[in-house]
Amino acid sequence: MLFARLLLQDAPVILLDEPFNAMDARTTADLLGLVGQWHGEGRTVVAVLHDLGQARAHFESSLLLARECVAWGPSGEVLQDQHLQRAHRMAEAWQGDAAARRVAA
């Protein structure tokens, strides 16, 4: 339904939050094709994804966030192990810090 609304809106900027969750592989492939078409038309597509394979394969640029910007640029460079490990460490530290503050309060 989300993609049907997007088609009707014909917006120059499209924001997607985990758009392929709970979809079968065929539907995901079709929708990724649509995202590629939008990009080819010059539209800006911003998608929040946790599937790094999809991000690498279908989005030319990535912004890796973990409490702050870890890396930004071409997906192949941003989604390298060194950046992913740093993001993981930052997320773990943040979660541990939050738990410590709840106990102290």
The predicted-structure confidence for 39-81, as pLDDT tens digits, reads as follows: 999 999 999 999 999 999 999 999 999 989 999 999 999 999 9
Tokens standing for 105? 């309060």
Residue 104: the pLDDT is 53
Q: State the pairing for strand pair 13-17/69-74.
A: unpaired
Tokens standing for 50? 């946790």
Residue 93: the pLDDT is 82
What is the dotted CATH code of the domain comprising 1-59? 3.40.50.300
What's the whole-model pTM score? Answer: 0.75
At residue 83, does pLDDT exceed 80? yes
Cα–Cα distances in angstroms (integers) from residue 82 to residues 1, 64, 69, 77, 88, in the given order: 37, 12, 14, 10, 10
